[in-house]
Amino acid sequence: MLIKNAKLRNLNHSVDILIEGDVIKEISPSIISSDSNIINANNNLVLEPFIEPHVHLDTALSAGQPRWNKSGTLFEGIECWSEKKETLTYDDVKKRSKKALEWQIANGIQWVRTHVDITDPTFTALKVLLELKEEMKQFVNIQIVAFPQEGILSFPNGLKLLEDALILGADVIGGIPHFEYTRDLGVQSIKEIVKLAIKYDKLIDVHCDEIDDEQSRFLEVLATEALFNNIGTKVTASHTTAMGSYNDPYTYKLFRLLRKSNINFISNPLVNIHLGGRFDSYPKRRGLTRVKELDQDNINVCFGHDDIFDPWYPLGNGNMLQVLHMGLHVSHMMGYDDISNCLDFITCNSAKTLHLGDEYKLKVGNKANLIILSEQNDYDAVKLQASVLFSIKNGVVISKSTPKQSYIFTTNKKFIDFK
């Protein structure tokens, strides 16, 4: 396969990309090849695939089942899910999860880290996701997080369920310390998570301080454990929305630890802005972590969708450009330079979080995993919510889209160009 006239993110001129089999063979300004399989990128952006670093596929597409979350709060969401969980079947989880994965694939995503609720002693959802991981591997790489939605130490047998989920095949250990009954249990749960991560050599991704409580300070515990055990790059703090409410002197002190610990951050702007500030009158807090400040301090931070049409989030279609659009707004990252480099938040920063290493990069010798957008740069990609024209995985086109076009019927009937 030969991709002509590709605009790479770090280059001013366009290049051709030659793919042989599943590998990128050559990238240079002009390639002559006898290969008849040619895609003309027309100077549009060609880059590494989008990554979804934080989603709950087991709950996806279940909004309104068995009832709608009318208050729109995180806590009513947990109650709705708890009711749904009682009637969960293998086929139902598989149908919904697979459909959400198909949306993600169509939107140019090739890596997904999904949390799966393991506070269901039958492990129905976990078994489905393990099966889908294998079944869909030609299209998408899935990392599964064993996520104890109702706590590790506050839920009957929680710790054993967590360990059993790892033995069954989960790749990442999750947690929810701010939801444990007491601060002590929350702290202890993080220590247990780290012990298990070391024992089974797993990554860690904790739902950490997802609450507008300025006293919720499990992030300092997670970062300290990561630092002391020298596992920071394998550890992720998801949400950390309480940081949006911390006082500045404490946050200044905290950032020293965060820098030293090397842990990763995932912010979920669509869901956080929807669920955050729910107990406030006015002024209402945004309920978001300090994305801008983390990024400026060279601490790795990326964006996730979190929920797709489920009890916690009633919208969404698995499109990371929607997530990015909201993320830039609510993080006050709308400066020219911020927007011009914004795709980092849904590509390379996420790759670092998922611990993908060099294999992710679009370069000669690596697997031919890439997407072709309908726009030429980061700025237009987010501004115009670009279409993913082609998604290519291991040298094979796995999805294809046509950008929408609009005409206005003025005197000279005109195709509208939004640039």
Sites of contact with Fe ion (CB under 5 A): 306
Q: Which of 273, 274, 281, 269 is nearest to 311 (CA)?
A: 274
CB 162 within 8 A of CB 118: yes
Q: How far is the CB of 46 from Fe ion (least distance, A)?
A: 31
Residue number of the CB closest to Fe ion reads 306
Choose the catalytic residue: 48, 52, 163, 210: 210
Q: Min. distance of Cβ 5 from Fe ion in angstroms?
A: 39
Residue 144 Cβ, how far from Fe ion at the closest point, in Å? 14
Nearer to Fe ion, 158 or 304 (CB): 304
Cα–Cα separations (whole angstroms), residue 375 to 45, 60, 379: 6, 29, 9
- Give dist(CA 117, CA 151) in Å, integer: 10
Q: Looking at beta carbons only, is 234 or 305 nearer to Fe ion?
A: 305
Q: Are 202 and 168 in contact (CB under 8 A)?
A: no
Among candidate residues 307, 301, 234, 419, the one with its CA nearest the CA of residue 77: 307
CA gyration radius, the chain? 22
Q: In whole angstroms, give the CA distance from residue 412 to residue 393.
A: 42
The residue among 19 and 275 lying less far from Fe ion, judged by its C-beta, is 275
Residue number, 212 or 306, with CB nearest to Fe ion: 306
- Shortest Cβ 308–Fe ion spacing (Å): 11
User: Residues 54, 57, 60, CA angle at the centre, nearest 5°?
Assistant: 110
Shortest Cβ 117–Fe ion spacing (Å): 10
User: What token pair was written down for 411?
Assistant: 């005197």
Cβ distance to Fe ion smaller for residue 139 or 179: 179
| Cβ neighbours around 228 below 10 Å, total | 11
Residue 52 annotated as catalytic: no
Q: Under DSSP, is residue 193 helix (H, G, I), strand (E, B) or coil?
A: helix
Catalytic residues: 210
